[in-house]
Structure formats: C-alpha cells, structure tokens
C-alpha cells in the first residue's frame, strides 16, 4: 500500500455534528463558531488574543501591514527572513511593500542568530521566524536580538500548533504569532488560521482590517438589539480575510485531539530516530533542546536526495521537500548565494511521511529503504 507524506485525520462524525449546528442555525460565515474557536485557542495556548482567519498567509500580510502603518515604516524598510520556507512567508513581506532580507539557517533549519546579526541595518524593522516542522531552533536567541534592538518579532508558527518550550505554548513572547490550520497541518481544516497579537489594540484593529475596515462585523450587528444596528463606519481600507464558522466548527473538534495527535507524531519521530541513528549516510534534523515539538515534519539530509526520492517512489513511498531555497526562485533571485547553509540544505533535505495513520511497521519499512538507497 502506498504511503503518502501527509494524510489528515478527521473525526468525521464530530466534525459533521459541529457543521450541522451551523447549517441548522443558518449561520456559516463569521460568527458564533469563530468566536468559540478564538476562545478555545486562547485557553489552549494561554495567548492573550486570537483572531480566526481564512489562512496563515493573510495573517502574515496583516501583521506586516498593521505594523508598517502603526510605526510609520517606509516602503522598502527591511524584514529579516529565512530562505528555507514556503513562499507565502516571504510574499507577505512584499504584499506590505517591505523588503525581505535573507539570513542563513542553522542545523535546525531555522534562522541562525549569528547570520541575523550580520543582516541588521538601520532599516531593519522586523524579523520573521519560521518554526520549520514545529522546531523552535534558536528562537530564544533570536528573541533576545529583537528585543535588544527594538525589532518587531513575527512568529510564523504554521507548523507549530501544539509546540511548547519550557512548558509554555510557543508565541507568548512574540509581537505577533500566526498559525496555520490548512488541510494537512497538525490541526487540519480545509483552510484557515489564527493571528495572535501581543497587544490588545493590535487585536482590535486587525479585526477591522479582516472585515474591509468596517468597525462592526455582521455577527456583532446581528447580535445587537439597537434599532441602528445597521449603522457602521468604514475606518480604513481593509481586506476580506476573516475566517468562517464551517472552518471554525472543524477546528473546534480537531483542537480537542491536538495534543494526543502530536504525541503520536513525536512517537513516529522517535521510531525514525532509532532506526536511522548512527547511519553515516543519513542525518536526521534534530529538535532543539527543551522544545516539545508539534513534529509536523521529520526531516533528514542525504547526499543523493533526488535519487533517493525516486527510489522511494518506486516502492510507493512519497516523501516531500520542505523547502526549496527561496532564493532559487525568480522572485527572490536577487539574494542567491547569500545563504550557503540554506542552499546546501535545500539540496539534501527530505521530509519523510508523517501522519496519524502510519504504524511502526510503516516507519520500519521506510527507514530500511532510506538506509538502503541513501548515499
């Protein structure tokens, strides 16, 4: 039987029951379920604010857009970022008219603090940290760098739903944290996300920005008993970025099982680690010490990545690559050659299948083939 990289696991009957409530009430858009998932997410993470969105990507755009106008940043002010990420991370910087400046990665495949320091200029206004695979890397050092220099820290936590460091859910010390609940993430819906600002006024403003700049959303107006509930103001140009109650309904169910599911992902990673330990031709990307990773990915590095992937495909095993060095893309080629560690990793990394339907025998089979074909 074929083994895919990702296969999301839905508690179907529970999800359908939550969705049925939306349909029976005739309220499928922004509304009572989006409020519920925001409350549940704040309780789960202990983050002070949470706003439900239609994707992680729009959340990153909103973060940069809001900070740019709030602090008076200029076009082409700089945001330090990683080249080893999905392109939406870096597109979001461009959406806001800012300039991505690429720093290199460390052995965790996260931003390297030494490289970050070398990239800081008087025009550096923000840094975006990507917790690739759920790994916190050297996040604490990056945080110290940002705080010492008044650089805004945006945490792209697309892979980090359920990641904890020192017993606390990741994101409590960032200026803003953005999560993904996309179809194959650890907390899967069809597509949605959550933006969690540190400051209350940022949370208040982003709710307007996600609803076209309108200062009262439709749910708030419907809940009002005022004769003038139809009256609202449009305070600025906003976007149609809010989440909806169908996605929130699915997320509410998935959240109940997130810690259990992540624990099994860590077990899969442990089995992989045991099987691939001390193999000279295979290096497993390690999780940072003190990080209880959501383990969205299990990544290895090999010298013959493309040949290995073809060999695995021939055995009906379908791994992935996270990610291609963004500076190899035409959009970001201006920075090509500036991040040698990321460029090297981009040619070697493979993400092995990691999903909840896998068994230890699946991991053993994949590991055996990796050892056989890796160079």
pLDDT for 17 beyond 70: yes
Please report the sign of the dihedral spanned by the C-alpha atoms of residue 263, residue 265, residue 271, residue 276.
negative
Same fold? 3-256, 258-373: no
pLDDT of residue 229: 65
The C-alpha atoms of residue 222 and residue 215 are separated, in whole angstroms, by: 14
Confidence of residue 368 (pLDDT cuts 50, 70, 90): very high
Whether the CB-CB separation of 175 and 152 falls below 8 Å is answered with yes
The C-alpha atoms of residue 46 and residue 145 are separated, in whole angstroms, by: 24
Confidence (pTM): 0.96
Options 3.30.300.30, 3.40.50.1970, 3.40.50.920, 3.40.640.10; which CATH number does 3-256 get? 3.40.640.10
Average pLDDT over residues 221-247: 80
pLDDT of residue 319: 98
- Lowest-confidence pick of 126-140, 168-182, 227-241: 227-241
Of 120, 203, 110, 200, the closest CA to residue 156 belongs to: 110
pLDDT of residue 226: 60
pLDDT of residue 89: 98
pLDDT for 58 beyond 70: yes
Average pLDDT over residues 275-300: 97
The C-alpha atoms of residue 127 and residue 145 are separated, in whole angstroms, by: 10
For residue 259, the surrounding DSSP H or E stretch is: helix 258-276
The C-alpha atoms of residue 4 and residue 358 are separated, in whole angstroms, by: 10
182-203 pLDDT tens trace: 999 999 999 999 999 999 999 9
Residue with tokens 């990610």: 323
pLDDT greater at residue 375 or residue 182: 182
State what percent of residues in the chain have pLDDT above 70: 96
Mean of all residue pLDDT scores within the chain? 96
Confidence of residue 9 (pLDDT cuts 50, 70, 90): very high
Tokens matching residue 344: 């090297």
Q: Is 12 helix (H, G, I), strand (E, B) or coil?
A: helix
pLDDT of residue 216: 74
Residue 183, φ and ψ in degrees, nearest 5:
-55, -35
pLDDT for 227 beyond 80: no
pLDDT for 219 beyond 80: no
Tokens matching residue 219: 């749910």
Domain 258-373 sits in CATH 3.90.1150.10? yes
Whether the CB-CB separation of 155 and 176 falls below 8 Å is answered with yes
The C-alpha atoms of residue 108 and residue 138 are separated, in whole angstroms, by: 8
pLDDT of residue 223: 55
Per DSSP, what are the bridge partners of residue 30? none
The C-alpha atoms of residue 73 and residue 125 are separated, in whole angstroms, by: 8
pLDDT of residue 79: 98
pLDDT for 221 beyond 70: no
pLDDT of residue 287: 98
pLDDT of residue 355: 97
Confidence of residue 222 (pLDDT cuts 50, 70, 90): low
Paired sense of beta strands 176-180 and 152-157, if any: parallel
80-123 pLDDT tens trace: 999 999 999 999 999 999 999 999 999 999 999 999 999 999 99
140-172 pLDDT tens trace: 999 999 999 999 999 999 999 999 999 999 999
Residue with tokens 């509930």: 229
Beta strands, E only, the chain? 3-4, 51-53, 78-81, 99-102, 124-130, 152-157, 164-165, 168-169, 176-180, 193-197, 283-284, 291-292, 299-301, 317-318, 349-351
pLDDT for 225 beyond 60: no
The C-alpha atoms of residue 305 and residue 287 are separated, in whole angstroms, by: 21
Domain ranges of the chain: 3-256, 258-373
């Amino acid at each position: 039987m074929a083994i895919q990289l990702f296969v999301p696991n839905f508690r179907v009957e529970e999800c359908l029951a939550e969705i049925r409530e939306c349909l029976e009430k005739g309220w499928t858009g922004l509304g009572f379920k989006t409020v519920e998932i925001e409350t549940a997410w704040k309780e789960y993470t202990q983050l002070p604010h949470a706003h439900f969105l239609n994707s992680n990507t729009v959340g990153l755009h909103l973060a940069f857009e809001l900070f740019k106008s709030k602090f008076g940043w200029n076009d082409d002010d700089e945001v330090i970022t990683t080249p080893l990420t999905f392109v939406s991370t870096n597109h979001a910087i461009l959406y806001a008219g800012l300039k991505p400046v690429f720093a290199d990665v460390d052995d965790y495949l996260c931003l390297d603090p030494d490289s970050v320091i070398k990239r800081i200029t008087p025009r550096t206004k923000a840094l975006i940290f990507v917790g690739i695979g759920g790994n916190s890397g050297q996040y604490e050092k990056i945080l110290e760098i940002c705080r010492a220099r008044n650089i805004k820290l945006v945490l792209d936590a697309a892979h980090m739903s359920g990641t904890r460091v020192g017993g606390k859910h990741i994101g409590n010390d960032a200026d803003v944290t953005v999560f993904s609940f996309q179809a194959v993430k650890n907390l899967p819906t069809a597509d949605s996300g959550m933006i969690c600002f540190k400051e209350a006024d940022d949370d208040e403003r982003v709710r307007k920005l996600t609803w076209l700049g309108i200062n009262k959303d439709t749910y708030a107006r419907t809940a009002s008993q005022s004769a003038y509930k139809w009256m609202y103001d449009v305070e600025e140009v906003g976007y149609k970025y809010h989440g909806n109650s169908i996605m929130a309904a699915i997320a509410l169910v998935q959240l109940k099982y997130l810690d259990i599911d992540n624990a099994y992902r860590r077990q899969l990673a442990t089995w992989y680690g045991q099987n691939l330990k001390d193999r000279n031709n295979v290096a497993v990307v390690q999780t940072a010490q003190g990080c209880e990773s959501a383990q969205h990915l299990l990544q290895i590095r090999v010298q013959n990545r493309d040949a290995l992937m073809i060999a695995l495909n021939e055995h009906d095993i379908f791994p992935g690559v996270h990610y291609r060095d963004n500076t190899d893309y035409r959009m970001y080629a201006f920075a090509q050659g500036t991040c040698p560690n990321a460029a090297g990793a981009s040619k070697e990394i493979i993400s092995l299948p990691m999903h909840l339907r896998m068994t230890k025998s699946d991991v053993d089979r994949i590991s055996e083939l990796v050892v056989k074909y890796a160079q």
